[in-house]
């Protein structure tokens, strides 16, 4: 697997953002290097998450880092059976995620590095359980809520070629149309 990228963020309109990612099967050191590159690109844009599609590769891996915005005490997280503070396990490097349980709905404002300057409230499950692999191919299981669960669901959408604007309410769609018009 060739994990080489140009280093730029792909913006809305780029076909790669609508491309379903293929599962990661090559857990070589090159994958670790790729994660490091994605991490730098995410931080340079002050992102709290990034997916491979956004840097030009349609593969199933992403990063979340909500250490600046997880609500201390309110958000919970159980990693491989152990309760942990979400901040303690950031950044989280995720390969081949699969949501196996999701419950309750909540509304939170989302934004995306690929859609700069547009944010809107989106309704999604509040608590999720996810199976995934770390960059070395080790199986992991996480259950969490809050900003971490939200950020993960947003990034997992990218791996399926979806964007948060696909889930806009009618009023959100109106606002997004205006946003696109002003952007021209």
Are the CB atoms for 53 and 17 separated by under 8 Å?
yes
Cβ nearer to Zn ion, comparing 103 with 166: 166
The question of whether 123 is a catalytic residue gets the answer no
Residue number with the shortest CB distance to Zn ion?
A: 112
Please tell me the distance from the alpha carbon of residue 87 to that of residue 72, in angstroms, as a whole number: 8
Single out the segment in contact with Zn ion by CB under 5 A; choices: 83-91, 104-112, 123-131, 144-152.
Answer: 104-112
- Least distance in angstroms from the C-beta of 158 to Zn ion: 6
Burial class (CB in 10 A: 0-12, 13-18, 19+), 114: buried
- Least distance in angstroms from the C-beta of 98 to Zn ion: 19
Q: Which of 8, 121, 155, 173 is catalytic?
A: 155
CA-nearest of 47, 74, 75, 6 to 158 is 47
Q: Is 35 helix (H, G, I), strand (E, B) or coil?
A: helix
**Per-residue interface string for the shown chain with Zn ion, residues 106-145, x marking contact by CB under 5 A:** ------x---------------------------------
Please tell me the distance from the alpha carbon of residue 158 to that of residue 80, in angstroms, as a whole number: 25
- Least distance in angstroms from the C-beta of 108 to Zn ion: 14
Burial class (CB in 10 A: 0-12, 13-18, 19+), 119: middle
- Least distance in angstroms from the C-beta of 112 to Zn ion: 3
Cβ nearer to Zn ion, comparing 95 with 112: 112
DSSP-assigned letter for residue 85: -
Cβ nearer to Zn ion, comparing 59 with 112: 112
Cβ nearer to Zn ion, comparing 111 with 137: 111
Q: Identify the residue whose tokens are 């309760």.
A: 83
Instruction: List residues with catalytic annotation.
Output: 155
Q: Which residues bind Zn ion (CB under 5 A)?
A: 112
């Amino acid at each position: 697997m060739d994990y080489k990228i140009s280093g730029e963020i792909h913006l809305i309109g780029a076909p790669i953002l609508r491309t379903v990612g293929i599962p990661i099967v090559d857990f070589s050191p090159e994958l670790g290097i790729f994660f490091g590159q994605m991490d730098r690109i995410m931080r340079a844009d002050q992102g709290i998450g990034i997916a491979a599609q956004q840097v030009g590769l349609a593969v199933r891996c992403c990063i979340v880092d909500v250490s600046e915005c997880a609500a201390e005490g309110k958000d919970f997280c159980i990693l491989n059976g152990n309760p942990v503070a979400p901040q303690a396990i950031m950044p989280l490097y995720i390969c081949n995620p699969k949501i196996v349980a999701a419950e309750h709905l909540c509304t939170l404002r989302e934004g995306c590095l690929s859609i700069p300057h547009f944010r809107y409230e989106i309704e999604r499950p509040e608590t999720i359980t996810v199976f995934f692999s770390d960059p070395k191919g080790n199986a992991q299981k996480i259950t969490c809520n809050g900003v971490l669960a939200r950020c993960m669901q947003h990034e997992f959408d990218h791996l399926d070629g979806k964007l948060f604007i696909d889930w806009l309410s009618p009023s959100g769609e109106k606002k997004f149309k205006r946003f696109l018009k002003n952007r021209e």
